[in-house]
Amino acid sequence: MTKIGLVGLGKMGISHFSIANADPRAEIIICDASGYMLDTIKKYTGCTAYKSFDTMLEKEDLAAVIIATPSRLHAPMVRAALEKGLHVFCEKPFCLDPAESAALAKLAADKGLITQVGYHYRYVGAFQEMKRIIDSGAIGTVTHILAEAYGPVILKPKGKTWRTDRAEGGGCLYDYAAHPINLLNWYFGEPDRADGTILAPIFSADTDDEVYSTLTWNDGTSAHVSVNWSDESYRKMSTKISITGTKGRINADRQECQTYLRETTDALPEYEQGWNVRYTTDLTQEVAFYLRGEEYSAQMYDFISAVVGDGGNPVNDFASATQTDRTMAMMITDHQSAPTTKRAAPLVAKKKRSWLGR
């Protein structure tokens, strides 16, 4: 079996561990600062465990690492792994400084290493179908996009954690808005301008709970980003992309891809004039191990397959994630340069926090 290290045993780290550990091609070595987490997982799985990332890299003959730590730790950990010649899967966002993102993407490319960043929506069948339709030209010239994400994450003032501190890589922009922005980058590339960006608190004291911005490309295409993670009307995170073109429109979310065509086209012979609906359940390939959603398993299976030389074609490499990091940085710069009336953030009790993974 191929040895793969995993650092960070928080929410996403535990998910990635469960999926990767179920793959018979991989032996997972775990690392975290929490002795309790390490002891518990080691007890029930028998995995080798480390408290130090550097020690794990030094002592284990790893082929790859999975990094699921708080965002501010991504860059130094990714660099350490790449310099050891290891393939890397890193949770999103890739890096908080897009200059670091670009440097690490170049380092990985120069070394010929496999890289992946955890933007799992690219593995959702409905969003994959949306890309296929866009690329076919069936809806003509795209004129405008609405990229949305809403969910009930922060619903009241609460103590401080790394997820509620923008300097640590927390907040609605990095945690929620990054997903629809990454889909925009996948579909249309990197935008050239951000205007009217709002990064506003609702309940948080140190970061944004809602994100709004207009992105434009030099070819005239525009997109409006509308994201709020303090929206109790949604049971869980909901991401939706709506695209308007000269010959039709497409709406896609986690459940389905709806396409309206003004006329039939040879590029999509299975699609009729008018409305067409394709459901994610029909568009998604079965995965060997299901946890939370097929897309989480599919992205990890793709990464491990590429690492062990068994096919695999990761679609979220460091270069593409760098586009998303630069887009978010551009939005932050626009927000900081614009005179705005700031909403007063609530006062909350400060809470001691640790470096534990997500």
Residue range 305-357, pLDDT digits in tens: 999 999 888 899 999 999 999 999 999 999 999 775 555 444 444 444 444 44
Based on the fold, state whether residues 12 and 159 are members of the same structural domain: no
Looking at residue 165, what is its pLDDT?
77
Residues of the chain with pLDDT > 70, as a percent, come to: 94
Whether residue 347 lies inside any domain: the answer is no
More confident residue, 247 or 311: 247
**Position 291 confidence tier, pLDDT thresholds 50, 70, 90:** confident
Of 93, 117, 141, the residue at which a domain comes to its end is: 117
- The string over 131-149, giving b where at least 16 C-beta atoms fall within 10 Å of a residue's C-beta and e elsewhere, is bebbeeebbbebeebbbbb
110 conformational bin, left if phi > 0, alpha if psi -120 to 50, beta if neither? alpha
Looking at residue 346, what is its pLDDT?
47
Q: Which domain covers residue 294, as residue numbers?
A: 121-337
Based on the fold, state whether residues 147 and 184 are members of the same structural domain: yes
CB within 8 Å of 322: residues ≥ 6 apart: 94, 98, 101, 102, 105
More confident residue, 268 or 342: 268
Based on the fold, state whether residues 95 and 135 are members of the same structural domain: no
Does pLDDT of 64 surpass 70? yes
More confident residue, 185 or 160: 185
Based on the fold, state whether residues 185 and 111 are members of the same structural domain: no
- Tell me what the mean pLDDT of segment 53-66 comes to: 98
Taking alpha carbons only, the member of 111, 104, 61 closest to residue 79 is 104
CATH of the domain at 229: 3.30.360.10
Based on the fold, state whether residues 51 and 182 are members of the same structural domain: no
Whether residue 109 lies inside any domain: the answer is yes
Based on the fold, state whether residues 47 and 132 are members of the same structural domain: no
Chain segment 128-152, per-residue pLDDT in tens: 999 999 999 999 999 999 999 999 9
The Cα angle at residue 210 between residues 206 and 215, in degrees rounded to 5? 120
Cα separation, 234 vs 252, whole angstroms:
17
Chain segment 161-173, per-residue pLDDT in tens: 777 777 777 799 9
Based on the fold, state whether residues 201 and 295 are members of the same structural domain: yes
Based on the fold, state whether residues 193 and 74 are members of the same structural domain: no
Whether residue 147 lies inside any domain: the answer is yes
Cα separation, 253 vs 274, whole angstroms:
19
The tokens of 193 are what?
A: 């301008």
Based on the fold, state whether residues 295 and 213 are members of the same structural domain: yes
Looking at residue 350, what is its pLDDT?
47
Chain segment 177-229, per-residue pLDDT in tens: 999 999 999 999 999 999 999 999 999 988 999 999 999 999 999 999 999 99
Whether residue 299 lies inside any domain: the answer is yes
Looking at residue 342, what is its pLDDT?
56
Query: pTM for this one?
Result: 0.93
Based on the fold, state whether residues 141 and 104 are members of the same structural domain: no
Whether residue 353 lies inside any domain: the answer is no
How many other CB atoms are found less than 10 A from the CB of residue 352?
7
Looking at residue 343, what is its pLDDT?
53
Give, in order, the Cα–Cα distances in Å from 7 to each of 29, 43, 245. Answer: 9, 18, 43
Cα separation, 329 vs 332, whole angstroms:
5
- Tell me what the mean pLDDT of segment 28-44 comes to: 93
- Tell me what the mean pLDDT of segment 255-264 comes to: 97
Whether residue 342 lies inside any domain: the answer is no
- Residue listed under structure tokens 């010929």: 112
Overall residue count recorded for the chain in this entry: 358
Does pLDDT of 303 surpass 80? yes
Whether residue 352 lies inside any domain: the answer is no
The tokens of 268 are what?
A: 């999509």
Helix (H) or strand (E) holding 178: helix 178-188
Does pLDDT of 56 surpass 70? yes
CATH of the domain at 109: 3.40.50.720
Cβ(356)–Cβ(34) below 8 Å: yes
Based on the fold, state whether residues 104 and 161 are members of the same structural domain: no
Whether residue 358 lies inside any domain: the answer is no
Does pLDDT of 15 surpass 50? yes
Q: Which residues lie across from 147 on neighbouring strands?
A: 225, 241
Based on the fold, state whether residues 134 and 262 are members of the same structural domain: yes
What's the total number of domains in the chain?
2
Cβ(209)–Cβ(152) below 8 Å: no
Looking at residue 206, what is its pLDDT?
85
